[in-house]
Amino acid sequence: MPVEIVIEDKRWADVSFKQLCDRAVAAALSTFDLDPSLFTIEILACDDTRIALLNRDFRGQAKPTNVLSWPSAERAASKDGDAPILPCANKDAELGDIAISYDTCAREAIQADKPLTDHLLHLLVHATLHLLGYDHQRDQDATLMERIEVKTLGKLGVDNPY
């Protein structure tokens, strides 16, 4: 599975970031019987300063966040609670981009009293689902997305984060 990673913050090396990305993305794609080797995702491993700039530029919110995602195509379902249209490897193998902030992720893991690796796996699965067209803006969409996250994280040995 081609997960391209750019590490801007050296602290990410302490958590075997490449391995976590590969595991999370593969688990999320496999949940839909999508072959991870046929898709690409680019991931930026950064800090709060960088993600705050990205959040400002793309979402109009000049503050840090844990993770951001940019799908390469619009795949969202039109009806609340319906599944999005899944990508086809021969047409849209490039799923999109993800940025994740070490500072916010580490702080959230400490606050939730959970292992940083578990929290990172959750956020990477969550962001991958966004690239697949899942969202949590509407109630039934959020319920569907959370259910898939919990199922996928269970395969990774991560407890329900909700």
DSSP lists the bridge partners of residue 44 as 6, 99
The reply to whether 32 falls in a domain is yes
Using one digit for the tens of pLDDT, what is the confidence trace for 6-39?
999 999 988 999 999 999 999 999 999 999 999 9
The reply to whether 11 falls in a domain is yes
The CATH number of the domain holding residue 137 is 3.40.390.30
The reply to whether 162 falls in a domain is no
The reply to whether 160 falls in a domain is no
Average pLDDT of the chain to the nearest whole number: 94
Distance CA 148, CA 77 (A): 15
Between 137 and 49, residue with greater pLDDT: 49
Distances (CA, A) of 66 to 3, 32, 37, 52, 119: 19, 25, 26, 10, 10
Q: Is the pTM of this model over 0.85?
A: yes
The reply to whether 161 falls in a domain is no
Using one digit for the tens of pLDDT, what is the confidence trace for 113-144?
999 999 999 999 999 999 999 999 888 999 99
Instruction: Give buried/exposed letters for 83-115 (b at 16+ CB in 10 A, else e).
Output: bbeebeeeeeebbbbbbbbbbbbbebbeeeeee
Distances (CA, A) of 156 to 27, 46, 89: 7, 24, 24
The reply to whether 65 falls in a domain is yes
pLDDT band at 103 (very low <50, low <70, confident <90, very high): very high
How many domains would you assign to the chain? 1
Distance CA 11, CA 38 (A): 30
**Contact present, 54 and 40 (Cβ < 8 Å):** no
pLDDT band at 1 (very low <50, low <70, confident <90, very high): low
The reply to whether 20 falls in a domain is yes
User: 130: domain range?
Assistant: 3-155
